[in-house]
Chain A
Amino acid sequence: GAGVSQTPSNKVTEKGKYVELRCDPISGHTALYWYRQSLGQGPEFLIYFQGTGAADDSGLPNDRFFAVRPEGSVSTLKIQRTERGDSAVYLCASSLQAGGPSYEQYFGPGTRLTVT
């Protein structure tokens, strides 16, 4: 596709439920990043992948959050036992490579998660 796509665009779930958020990066981009953004704040880093492996998962807030990228393209962010504090816009970005001259990250439109 032309850009990073994320599905769903909006997700409303009940406290305690499990959710999956999907990210399709730009074709050929080897690095993929997840951030989340609360209202009025800047994006907060969660995890990034170089290829299939998680190169840095230091931003995941706790073990309820998990992300995979099994084939080095699409990634899924999984949140177990959702809490109201998980409500935010989850942003995905990709870049041509994580370590090299092309640092620019291209962001998707985000998934707005609301936990009721």
Chain B
Amino acid sequence: SQQGEEDPQALSIQEGENATMNCSYKTSINNLQWYRQNSGRGLVHLILIRSNEREKHSGRLRVTLDTSKKSSSLLITASRAADTASYFCATALNQGGKLIFGQGTELSVKP
């Protein structure tokens, strides 16, 4: 069964706007990761945040983690058409090992 629930399921914005996606999970975790997937095939790792971290940045990406609420958010600033993809959060219960994915948010960025 899936651990994560993502919200919204779909998001459509204009180029240049910011996109925010949320993820909630059910059990204690070691770390949470965000992945991007184009065309329903291979996933690309975006960013990892550990359970003792609250915020992390990577380029135009900002991830927050609230372990008390068991939730995370991914913010993409100044979006581009090339950001159009599905975005998944994935939780790791232990160091390494399996990832448990949410159902994903489908982001569409219109030029």
Using a CB–CB distance below 8 Å, which chain A residues touch chain B?
Answer: 31, 33, 35, 37, 39-45, 48, 55-56, 58-59, 89, 91, 93, 95, 97-100, 103-110
Stretch at the interface among B51-59, B68-76, B94-102: B94-102
11 contacts between A and B (CB under 8 A): A31-B96, A39-B40, A40-B103, A42-B101, A42-B102, A43-B43, A48-B97, A59-B98, A104-B45, A107-B42, A109-B41
Count residues on chain B whose CB falls below 8 Å from chain A CBs.
26
CA distance A33 to B98 in the complex (A): 7
Query: Known contacts A42-B4, A103-B31: does B98 contact A110 (CB below 8 Å)?
Result: no
**B97 close to A55 (CB less than 8 A):** yes
Taking the closest CB of chain B, its distance from the CB of A58, in whole angstroms, is 8
Q: Mark B9-39, 1 if CB is under 8 A from A, else 0.
A: 0000000000000000000000101010000
| Bound-complex Cα distance A19 to B28 (A) | 37
Interface centre among B2, B97, B103 (most CB of A within 10 A): B97
Whether B96 and A98, one on each chain, are in contact in the complex, defined by CB atoms closer than 8 angstroms, is yes
Residue of A nearest to B30 (CB): A103
Binding site for A on B (CB under 8 A): 2, 4, 31, 33, 35, 40-45, 48, 88, 90, 92, 94-104
Bound Cα distance A60, B95 (Å): 21
**In the complex, residue of chain A having the shortest beta-carbon distance to the beta carbon of B94:** A99
Distance, CA A104 to CA B95, complexed state (A):
11
Question: Please, how many angstroms separate the alpha-carbon atoms of A51 and B31 in the complex?
Answer: 23
